[in-house]
Amino acid sequence: MSDQSNIGVTPVELNPAIDRTQIQSRFAATGRAQIKDILTEQSAEQFYKCLTEELPWRLAFNDGSQHQELTREQTDNLGPQEQAQLQHGIFERATRQFQYAYADYPVAKTLNSPTEPNFFVHDVLRFLNGETFRSFLLDATGLEGKMYADGHATCFQPGHFRTIHDDTDTDNVRVLAYAFNMTRNWRPDWGGALQFFNQDLEIEESFSPIFNALTIYKVPQAHAVSFVPPYAQGGWFGMTGWFHAAD
């Protein structure tokens, strides 16, 4: 069950053994569902290899409403005092507003770029916008209408987080959010959990980083990615984004 316009050595394929009935039930009850073993083993391994070995990661963070990115070279060129000031500013803003910090690679923005290599994450985004996955998604969620996906690769390491927010956009075109998780050997006390909150801002449900799982959820829903502490090892690898109403 593959659907790509630029198929590489390994195609992106859905696991044919997915229990759609269980997904439909979970999504109908809560507006969200985690689909484990979403891809075939071969596809998942190629996805993991791309995320952990191939991408030129950037540091992504926000300063108010402004998204900022620093390349590896730019962060390496910062002196100790500049690095401390950058981190202090991120943490200080997190005490009073929506704030995030994590490693990022802009998949949608570099799709079909003449200056960027074609990575497997680009094939994954093409697959999410293909008819095979679109049909699966509409069947699993009961939603109707045309949608298209954007996406960016993400890696959460020590010091990274996303504070509570609900993904509301000013144009009201975000229908679903998604989080592909391709993380191995992650302990639950290392943070990085995708947490959902009720109206009293109590944790209602939490998904720890695991391998080959896709979480989908209706927009808006209050959620956060919990802080990754300094003693965490490795990284939380994945790809996240939104499905937008095509109209």
| Domain residue limits, the chain | 25-245
Task: Please give the Cα distance from 231 to 157 (Å, whole number).
Answer: 10
Task: Please give the Cα distance from 81 to 84 (Å, whole number).
Answer: 5
Q: How many CB atoms lie within 10 A of CB 240?
A: 21
Task: Please give the Cα distance from 245 to 14 (Å, whole number).
Answer: 23
Task: Please give the Cα distance from 120 to 118 (Å, whole number).
Answer: 7
| CATH H superfamily, domain 25-245 | q2cbj1_9rhob like domain (2.60.120.620)
Q: Which residues contact 137 (CB under 8 A, 6 or more apart)?
A: 143, 147, 176, 216, 243
pLDDT of residue 7: 44
What parts of the chain have a pLDDT lower than 70? Answer: 1-8
In the numeric block, the tokens 């962060």 are attached to: 75
pTM of the model: 0.93
Chain length of the chain: 247
Contact 242, 176 (CB under 8 A): yes
Helix or strand or coil: residue 223? strand
β-bridge pairing 100-105 and 58-63: antiparallel
pLDDT of residue 3: 52
